[in-house]
Amino acid sequence: MNPLAQPIIYTTMITGTLITTLSSHWFLAWVGLEMNMLAFIPILMKKTNPRSTEAAIKYFLMQSTASMVLMMAIISNNLLSGCWTTTSYINQPPSLMMMTALAMKLGMAPFHFWVPEVTQGTPLTSGLLLLTWQKLAPISIMYQIHPSINIHILLTLSTLSTAMGSWGGLNQTQLRKILGYSSITHMGWMMMTLVYNPMTTIFYLTIYIILTTTMFLTLNLSSSTTTLMLSRTWNKSTHLAPLMAPILMSLGGLPPLTGFLPKWIIIQELTMNNSFLIPSIMTIMTLLNLYFYMRLIYTTSLTLFPTSNNTKMTWQLENTKPMPLIPPLIITSTLLLPISPLLLTFH
């Protein structure tokens, strides 16, 4: 992208999300979502090739369909209740339409098919913005409508998201597709406690953004987009090869690491509301997620793929690519569990 065009595009993307999160009128919330989507399309097409054009078109079609359904829900809600404020109770049919529209925007099952394909067709930094920044505005709207959401349908969407995200990521070798399926799974987890305790959703979102940002920036260092390219990390940046292990285990939710904390809180919220089957099903489904992260750890640091003899001698030991924020992000994404009482002030 032209460097003169970048300030306007990025400013509009950020402004769109800010308008959605800070507005109390439904119309302005919708306008913010549209502004965000419109300014995100050239970011998806940073490198112009037919694959990124296809990804941008798929993203645009899905998001504009979701915006249309959301606008229909907003107008039906106004017809039924006369209310334009986002904080008031939404009637049930418009609330169902709103939940469908926001599930389409977030990439929850059964509307999840675009997430791996759009994440795959774009550069790593665009994929990072797609899976982290673009989730903020729809989740802020879901937070505001959480009293009127139908519990049964939301829990169905969440369970389906976890199942589809886990099963879909099993046969992947492309790292961006793996992170796309991981995003679908985490969206399922996030939406489980929206009706019980919406602050846990925001907490899970925060931890998820930290983990996904760490993962994407680490992959961006060696520009690796497939498992095969990831297996050369031991040669390219030796210090990162063993560090991928705790990051990925945290993303999968293993106990002494940060990624376990939000899952623990969600399971606690659900069991406090006498629901035992659903957290069990979701935990078992997420184990499949952990399995393909483990496969990545195996190829990165636990084994050496056969290579030619030249690659076994690294002649350039100084890392020439700057590492933006990676050390503090790795620490945050693995070591936050001991200070969890400080983080869980909403309990």
Partner 1 sequence: MAYILFTLSVLLVMGFVGFSSKPSPIYGGLALIISGVVGCVIVLNCGGVYMGLMMFLVYLGGMMVVFGYTTAMAIEEYPETWGSGLEVLGGLLVGLMMEVMLVLWVLSLDEAVVVVVGFSDTGDWVIFEGEGSGLIRGDSIGAGALYDYGRWLVVVAGWTLFVGVYVVIEIVRGN
Chain residues binding partner 1 by CB under 8 A are 1-2, 5, 8-9, 12, 15, 19, 27-28, 31, 34-35, 38-39, 41-42, 45, 48, 56
CA dist., res. 333 & res. 314, Å (int): 29
CA dist., res. 265 & res. 261, Å (int): 6
Rounded least distance, CB 79 to partner 1, Å? 9
CA dist., res. 255 & res. 298, Å (int): 19
Stretch (H or E) spanning 114:
helix 114-120
C-alpha angle 325/188/333, rounded to 5°? Answer: 20
Residue with Cβ nearer partner 1 (91 or 332): 91
Rounded least distance, CB 218 to partner 1, Å? 29
Rounded least distance, CB 34 to partner 1, Å? 7
Rounded least distance, CB 44 to partner 1, Å? 9
Rounded least distance, CB 110 to partner 1, Å? 26
CA dist., res. 309 & res. 108, Å (int): 46
CA dist., res. 89 & res. 145, Å (int): 7
| Residue recorded with tokens 């992260």 | 293
Beta bridge partners of 174: 226
Structure tokens at 152: 């049964």
Residue with Cβ nearer partner 1 (27 or 305): 27
Contacts (Cβ under 8 Å, ≥6 apart) of 250: 211, 257, 258, 259, 260, 333, 334
Rounded least distance, CB 214 to partner 1, Å? 30
CB atoms within 10 A of CB 200: 23
What's the N-to-C CA distance of the chain in angstroms?
A: 45
Residue with Cβ nearer partner 1 (97 or 230): 97
Q: Could you tell me if 221 and 191 are in contact, meaning their C-beta atoms sit under 8 angstroms apart? A: no
Residue with Cβ nearer partner 1 (30 or 234): 30
Residue with Cβ nearer partner 1 (16 or 259): 16
Rounded least distance, CB 1 to partner 1, Å? 7
Q: Could you tell me if 216 and 127 are in contact, meaning their C-beta atoms sit under 8 angstroms apart? A: yes
Residue with Cβ nearer partner 1 (12 or 268): 12
Residue with Cβ nearer partner 1 (27 or 298): 27
Residue with Cβ nearer partner 1 (41 or 229): 41
CA dist., res. 116 & res. 120, Å (int): 6
Q: Could you tell me if 182 and 101 are in contact, meaning their C-beta atoms sit under 8 angstroms apart? A: no
CA dist., res. 92 & res. 46, Å (int): 41
Rounded least distance, CB 2 to partner 1, Å? 7
Structure tokens at 5: 């065009």
Residue with Cβ nearer partner 1 (5 or 272): 5
Rounded least distance, CB 48 to partner 1, Å? 5
